């Protein structure tokens, strides 16, 4: 089985957990860019150098993050370190102590904080992750359940800063590739814990989708991405013309369709406050901007309020 990954020249941080997805990602990169020569420096856990591939202008550094959630997670790190030595690549890792009760969001935030720090320290152009088609489907369904609308439908895509070259590959294809090439990986025992929403969705929803249903979901996701790109352009234009970090124009805001206006309001709040944006918050602030009386102050969160006057709504920070 041949699955191809193409990357432009540059330096990349490859996120490798030790699970089958990232082990296959690393193997495909190694095969494509001929990483067969062992580098002695790659044997040290905190090696800071990257290895120039002998047949390409691609440089890779393996990054492994131990969340400190499972008691056996040290074995994951040992496997990834062994793979780094085998492929002749430098290896960087870190460990947190999130504990067994850590949420998916906390684990993700800690992991990306680490990966971003490695990217900065190594001067890399981007991070590469092993997200695949099944991850996309899981994320679509989870976001639907959480009510994130079109923005959630088009999440988990590749970008210039985080490249996800396996999004067109299914979990079934990845496992077949791993078996074909006799790869060694670690199974994360927490993947069987259905108290995590993603695990429940993976087993009871995505795992039962037929090919037609998968295709329909992916088509909806692609359409949502196009829609979100158009909305993003509109949001950028509006914010540039009718807002500052401290205020937003009420008169023009009230002329917009409600769905568009709420997208603009959500982005304005994200950019200019430390508050987490929720649907409930945006609906409340949208109603205030449209109908509130002059002089009214509406609570946002964290001591901040939205003060309304005739023409503008102003963010008021706590003293």
Question: What pLDDT score was predicted for residue 232?
Answer: 82
Regions of the chain where pLDDT drops below 50: 35-55
Question: What pLDDT score was predicted for residue 227?
Answer: 78
Question: What pLDDT score was predicted for residue 61?
Answer: 95
Residue 242 neighbours by CB under 8 Å, 6+ apart = 248, 249, 252, 253
Question: What pLDDT score was predicted for residue 56?
Answer: 60
Q: How far is it between the farthest Cα atoms of the chain?
A: 71
Q: pTM value?
A: 0.73
Question: What pLDDT score was predicted for residue 209?
Answer: 92
| Domains of the chain in sequence order | 10-213 (3.40.50.620), 243-319 (3.30.465.60)
CB atoms closer than 10 angstroms to residue 237: 11
**CA 275, 278, 284, 287: dihedral to nearest 10 degrees?**
110
User: Counting beta carbons within 10 angstroms of the beta carbon of residue 173, is it exposed (0 to 12), middle (13 to 18) or buried (19 or more)?
Assistant: middle
Contact 96, 67 (CB under 8 A): yes
Residue 128: strand, helix, or coil = strand
Question: What pLDDT score was predicted for residue 269?
Answer: 93
Residue 17 neighbours by CB under 8 Å, 6+ apart = 64, 65, 76, 80, 130, 188
Question: What pLDDT score was predicted for residue 135?
Answer: 93
Give the count of alpha carbons within 13 A of 111, CB side only. 22
């Amino acid at each position: 089985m041949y699955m191809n990954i193409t990357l432009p020249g540059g330096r990349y941080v490859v996120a490798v957990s030790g699970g089958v997805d990232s082990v296959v990602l690393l193997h495909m990169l190694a095969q494509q860019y001929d990483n067969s020569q062992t580098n002695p420096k790659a044997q040290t856990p905190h090696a800071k150098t990257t290895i120039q591939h002998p047949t390409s202008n691609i440089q890779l550094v393996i990054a492994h993050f131990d969340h400190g959630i499972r008691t056996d997670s040290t074995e994951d790190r040992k496997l990834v370190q062994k793979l780094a030595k085998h492929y002749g690549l430098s290896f960087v890792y870190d460990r947190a102590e999130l504990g067994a009760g850590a949420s998916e969001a906390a684990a993700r935030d800690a992991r990306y904080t680490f990966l971003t720090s490695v990217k900065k320290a190594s001067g890399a152009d981007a991070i590469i992750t092993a997200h695949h088609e099944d991850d996309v489907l899981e994320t679509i369904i989870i976001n639907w359940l959480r009510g994130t609308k079109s923005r959630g439908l088009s999440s988990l895509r590749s970008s210039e800063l985080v490249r996800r070259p396996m999004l067109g590959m299914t979990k079934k294809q990845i496992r077949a590739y791993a078996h074909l090439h006799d790869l060694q990986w670690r199974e994360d025992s927490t993947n069987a814990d259905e108290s995590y929403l993603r695990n429940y969705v993976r087993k009871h929803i995505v795992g039962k989708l037929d090919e037609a249903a998968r295709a329909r979901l992916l088509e909806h996701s692609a359409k949502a991405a196009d829609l979100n790109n158009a909305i993003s352009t509109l949001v950028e234009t509006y914010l540039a013309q009718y807002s500052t970090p401290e205020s937003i124009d009420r008169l023009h805001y009230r002329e917009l369709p409600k769905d568009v206006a709420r997208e603009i309001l959500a982005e304005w709040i994200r950019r200019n406050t430390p508050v987490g944006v929720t649907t409930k918050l945006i609906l409340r602030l949208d109603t205030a901007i449209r109908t509130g009386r002059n002089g009214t102050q509406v609570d946002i969160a964290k001591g901040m309020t939205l003060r309304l006057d005739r023409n503008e709504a102003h963010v008021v920070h706590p003293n």
